[in-house]
């Protein structure tokens, strides 16, 4: 019975995480100008979709490294962390690299990452994160061009909305 109670408490924590981040999503959506949202392809993921996407991961390594290439407020990252923390077999550590080019969204994202850290810690998982406030495509292109001088970054998992405009390489990004 104690195991069941502990499991229910963990599930509630992870659901609270995703629901708290959804508040950020709603607030950010309300504050962002419609033209700016269209320009940056900012179509924030609702909790049900984020949870569904996170549930599809086969992430059974001892140490996980997650890339969120256009993190926004962190809805997908929060859903991923919530999902992993609910599983009976958990990693000992998770490292998240979250890219967000919009400074106003990065403020929400920092809070989301702090909440992810707390949920991981309560589940016995070491959590590290890196919030990169730049364009993922430009950064990735630059990294590929200088690969022989830098160790490439590797990830076990990547989560993103591929329909956003952020995922379309521009000529400037390609020639960077």
Closest to 61 in 3D by CA, of 156, 140, 141, 176? 156
Contacts of 171 (CB under 8 A, 6+ apart): none
Judge whether residue 139 has pLDDT over 70: yes
State which CATH number among 1.10.287, 3.40.50, 3.40.1350, 3.30.70 fits the domain covering 2-51+62-162. 3.40.50
Geometric angle at alpha carbon 25, from 42 and 114, rounded to 5°: 110
Closest to 140 in 3D by CA, of 80, 95, 97, 91? 97
pLDDT number for residue 154: 82
Per domain, the residue ranges of the chain are 2-51+62-162
pLDDT number for residue 169: 47
Burial of 43 (0-12, 13-18, 19+ CB in 10 A): middle
pLDDT number for residue 141: 80
User: Contact at 8 Å (CB) between 72 and 43?
Assistant: no
* pLDDT tens digits, 82-113: 999 999 999 999 999 999 998 989 999 999 99
pLDDT number for residue 132: 95
């Amino acid at each position: 019975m104690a195991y069941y109670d502990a499991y229910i408490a963990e599930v509630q924590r992870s659901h609270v995480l995703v629901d708290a981040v959804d508040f950020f999503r709603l607030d950010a959506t309300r504050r962002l100008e419609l033209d700016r949202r269209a320009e940056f392809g900012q179509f924030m993921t609702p909790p049900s979709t984020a949870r569904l996407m996170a549930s599809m991961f086969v992430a059974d390594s001892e140490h996980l490294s997650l890339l969120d290439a256009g993190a926004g407020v962190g809805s997908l990252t929060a859903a991923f962390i919530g999902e992993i923390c609910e599983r009976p077999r958990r990693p000992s550590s998770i490292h998240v690299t979250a890219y967000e080019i919009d400074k106003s969204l990065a403020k929400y994202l920092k809070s989301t990452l702090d909440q992810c850290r707390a949920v991981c810690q309560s589940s016995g998982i070491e959590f590290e994160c890196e919030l990169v406030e730049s364009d993922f495509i430009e950064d990735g292109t630059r990294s590929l061009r200088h690969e022989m001088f830098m160790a490439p970054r590797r990830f076990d998992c990547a989560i993103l909305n591929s329909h956003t405009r952020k995922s379309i390489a521009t000529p400037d990004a390609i020639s960077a």
